[in-house]
Structure 1
Amino acid sequence: MVTKHPLPGSERTVEQGSKVVGQCDPAERIEVFVMLRRQRQAQFDALMSRIQAGDPNVKPLSRDELAKDYGAAPDDIAKVKAFAAAHGLTVVREDPAARSVLLSGTIAQFQGAFGVKLEHYQHRTAGEFRGRTGPVNVPDDLHGVVEAVLGLDNRPQARPHFRIRPPFRPAKAHQVSFTPPQLAALYQFPQGDGSGQCVGILELGGGYTRSDLDAYFASLGVASPTVKPVSVDQARNEPTGDPNGPDGEVTLDIEVVGAIAPGATIAVYFTPNSDAGFIDALSRAVHDTANKPSVISISWGAPESSWTSQSLQAFNSVLETAAALGVTVCAASGDSGSSDGVNGGDQVDFPASSPYVLACGGTSLTASGTSISREVVWNDGAQGGAGGGGVSRAFPVPAWQKGLSAALSSGGKTALGGRGVPDVAGDASPITGYTVLIGGEQTVIGGTSAVAPLWAALIARINAAKGEPAGFINPKLYKAPHVCNDITQGNNGSFAASEGWDACTGLGSPNGQKVAGAL
């Protein structure tokens, strides 16, 4: 008699606004991503607490060291393979370093293997997806070995964080926009082009056209960077032709990084928009021994409450690996203010809320000539968007945020009861946004989606000049808050800007040369 154990944190409920519309075809083939425990977890935790404390004596692990010391144990992989064979499932790939095994099989085989029932659901905004309720179950010999089973359901997990400027109206005559090199100059980025570095960008849909990129970089007088699309889980560079859709996100990310760090290789990891796809793409980028990104930019995310706890922890564990390898991860904090678009109460966006990420919030910037004349929290009202920020309910306060408090719009301050978001900020209002080229049309885009690649490009320049990766930079930035332009005006809903760190713009927007000095 095999005892089945519910996998902690794998429970799914019927999402509000969803209903079952039919059964899944038992013969349909799908792929499922199994994540295993880490070898020598206690030793790894000790290493991570030193990294979180900003210990200058900790050197990043090489990808080889990580694989050997902190990958999945060969015995654990053998157990998963034996389990797969017993249920007629095929092992598509195994990656001990990434602690992952990708399995392929029919819906019927996976339902039997993991004790789940998969059905088709319809949701008013997410469309149709494969879903389940209740937990995923594993047998005795995988109990405690398997940390996450992802891909049984494929509901859309994340949304892009960009906003196209609304059509020009004469009353908005003060609307201005900036090219990424203009912003790099305003933010006093150090000289350089990022050569020798690779910037990884994660995309959950859409694509780019080479003609847009070439025309855009030519218009800026910048050399066209090398852009390499990387296919993850059958997704690929597939432009939809709709600049308002994910193409807008993909093109924005590449054009911001490429305009500021044209000497860097840009590896774009295309993946399906599901928790499994998102986590697998991050894992592939972090463990990519061919491209070896030293910095990764993520402009997609979702409120913490929309993730299962197994997905959140699995994703965070890959971000932890990135920090151990000295890979900086920049993530957009969201474009819907302190609520993150959730009705009733405040939420922060994940992965920006991970303590292993540089969370990038939004400002609205006014310049006169070559200097910034005014910079406030990005908040263009309910329809216009506002920078995401607040306090995590999923992650405790990291060492480098101890003792901080968040200023409230209603007055007063509240001590942080969890990880505070964001860490830093940059221009994000579509009214003062970024001039980009999408679908052959010049377009102005804002959103914290633009801030993550802006910071990623800054770090690529710093890494290139230094000849080694800056790595996990949060402890260093919090020890030297003067390297950011402190934003003290505005609010994002529940939280207000204040002197020092705040839950709208973090430490502030970059003074690139000072950031380089601190790192």
Structure 2
Amino acid sequence: MSPCGRSRFLAVLALAAAALIPLSFAAPVAQAAPLLSGGLVDLGCATASHAHFHCLGKAIKSPNGPGPMTVTTPVGLAPADIQSAYGLAGKTSGGRTVAIVDAMDAPTAEADLAVFRSKRGLAPCTTANGCFKKVNQNGATSPLPAGDYGWAEEISLDLDAVSSTCPDCHILLVEASSADTDPLMTAVDTAANTPGVVAISNSYGGAEDGTITAADVHLNHPGIAVTASSGDSGYGVSWPASSPYVTAVGGTTLTKAAGTPRGWTEKTWSGAGSGCSTIEPKPAWQHDTGCANRTVADVSADADPASGLGIYDTYNSCGTSSFCDFLIALGLAQGADGWVQVGGTSLSSPIIASVYALAGTSVNAGSYPYAHTSGLNDVTTGNNGSCGGTYLCTAGPGYDGPTGLGTPNGTSGF
């Protein structure tokens, strides 16, 4: 940094520190339960305005500034919670592979995954033992794309969500060179052509436009479950969730309910995307009558950051220290430095992809759950916006837009 730049940085830091005096800033402390700080912040990849797509995740915001709250020990829901809520405890995949498609590189992905799995009591998943592999959009281990702090948070979320839902699944991380249509769709094709891959999760989205129908061919992989996040800005449709070749995954708020048979309750997460596509045709297996085109979503899972997963990510612009956490909280540094509680349909998509892997069923687009609704928990309350009170934004018995047919009750619905 030049002397002039250093002076400006120190001046900004001094002003920020002065502004924080009334807040009595303290270094992060250990957390054992979900954080409820009263605010959310988009993962950094959501601010890349130059790109067509952004990731669909949000983190609990620090009370000390506009950045995410980073803590030093595991926080939020644990793998055992995800497995309990969705009837997955004790189920195994036999080593089937879930592919994660994201943009840009997370240089610390494997190391961060190792910490997450160790702290959460899961077996190692590494390149050395054949469980984990990271490649570029063409399937090569090098060169990888440039690192990106925001997308690294998304990547940590995806890897940790798969680990939580399906601990014995192998994971293939495919990193596109940018968050644009051609690189991301090339990455999806690479994932689909990799032996052992049975599900592909896409935790990103963008506005529908005239280019998407031509790109749909890259999502059409019969026999492989392709999932896509429905959105994190409430009622409204994004692509690729609106593609008829994917399972569009909406979002819920997941709450422990001691004394009930299931032990959990769910309602619509207000941030989940849903609605009626203006472009994509209605697939033959979808039969709701309020939308002549493709309706989003098909199924759902936990997406509310307030009931979110605790993830581990250390790729940032300031190093590893309590002072770095301070800068991240203030928004003066990018990335994360430890445990962060996150949600968004960026969480629900890899959960559902992992349930498909546990089920081990050859699937055709999003059709399978529609013929196996007994394997789903119907979500009947909540809404994600205003649509005249119709099912497109309001949950109710049976199918609705925000939560689709419901959430996993074991694997029989997938």
Does the pair score TM above 0.5? yes
Answer yes or no: is the 8 Å Cα contact 2:359–2:412 preserved in 1.
Answer: no
Q: Structure 1 residues 192, 331: CA separation in 2 closer, same or farther (over 3 Å shift)?
A: same
Give the alignment partner of residue 160 of structure 2, picking from 255, 263, 268.
255
Give the alignment partner of residue 167 of structure 1, picking from 48, 57, 62.
62
| Counterpart position of 1:236 | 144
- Pairing 1:444–2:341 present: yes
SS of residue in 2 equivalent to 1:391 = strand
Answer yes or no: is the 8 Å Cα contact 1:362–1:377 preserved in 2.
Answer: yes
**Greater per-residue strand proportion:** 1
- State the 4+ residue runs in structure 1 displaced beyond 3 angstroms: 237-240, 369-373
TM-score normalised by length of structure 1: 0.58
Amino acid at match of 1:350: W
Any idea what the Cα deviations from partners look like across 1:412-447, whole Å, max 9, x if unmatched? Answer: xxx212111010111111111111111151110000
- Pairing 1:156–2:51 present: yes
Answer yes or no: is the 8 Å Cα contact 1:462–1:470 preserved in 2.
Answer: no
Answer yes or no: is the 8 Å Cα contact 1:228–1:268 preserved in 2.
Answer: yes
Q: How does 1:83-482 map to 2 (within 5 A)?
A: 126=48, 156-167=51-62, 177-189=76-88, 191-207=90-106, 208-225=108-125, 226-232=131-137, 236=144, 239-240=147-148, 242=149, 245-271=150-176, 272-288=178-194, 291-305=195-209, 308-309=210-211, 312-320=212-220, 322-323=221-222, 326-339=223-236, 348-369=237-258, 371-379=262-270, 386-402=271-287, 404-405=288-289, 415-439=290-314, 440-463=337-360, 469-472=361-364, 474-482=366-374
Larger Rg: 1
Amino acid at match of 1:445: V
Any idea what the Cα deviations from partners look like across 1:184-236, whole Å, max 9, x if unmatched? Answer: 21111263332331111101124143331111101111012221011126762
SS of residue in 2 equivalent to 1:177 = coil
In structure 1, how many angstroms separate the alpha carbons of the residues matched to 2:60 and 2:82?
17
Amino acid at match of 1:222: L
Amino acid at match of 1:199: V
SS of residue in 1 equivalent to 2:285 = helix
Answer yes or no: is the 8 Å Cα contact 2:373–2:413 preserved in 1.
Answer: no
Q: Structure 1 residues 286, 300: CA separation in 2 closer, same or farther (over 3 Å shift)?
A: same
Q: Structure 1 residues 430, 209: CA separation in 2 closer, same or farther (over 3 Å shift)?
A: same
Answer yes or no: is the 8 Å Cα contact 2:158–2:346 preserved in 1.
Answer: yes
* Alpha-carbon offset, residue 277 of structure 1: 0.5
Any idea what the Cα deviations from partners look like across 1:311-356, whole Å, max 9, x if unmatched? Answer: x123211222x12xx01111111101113xxxxxxxx111111111
Q: How many residues align?
A: 318
| Counterpart position of 1:484 | 376
Answer yes or no: is the 8 Å Cα contact 2:85–2:264 preserved in 1.
Answer: no
Amino acid at match of 1:474: G
Answer yes or no: is the 8 Å Cα contact 1:365–1:372 preserved in 2.
Answer: no
Indicate the RMSD between aligned Cα atoms, in angstroms: 2.2
In structure 1, how many angstroms separate the alpha carbons of the residues matched to 2:408 and 2:313?
27
Amino acid at match of 2:357: A
Amino acid at match of 2:86: Y
Amino acid at match of 1:191: G
Answer yes or no: is the 8 Å Cα contact 2:376–2:413 preserved in 1.
Answer: no
Higher relative contact order (CA 8 A, sep 6+): 2
Answer yes or no: is the 8 Å Cα contact 2:185–2:219 preserved in 1.
Answer: no
* Alpha-carbon offset, residue 264 of structure 1: 2.2
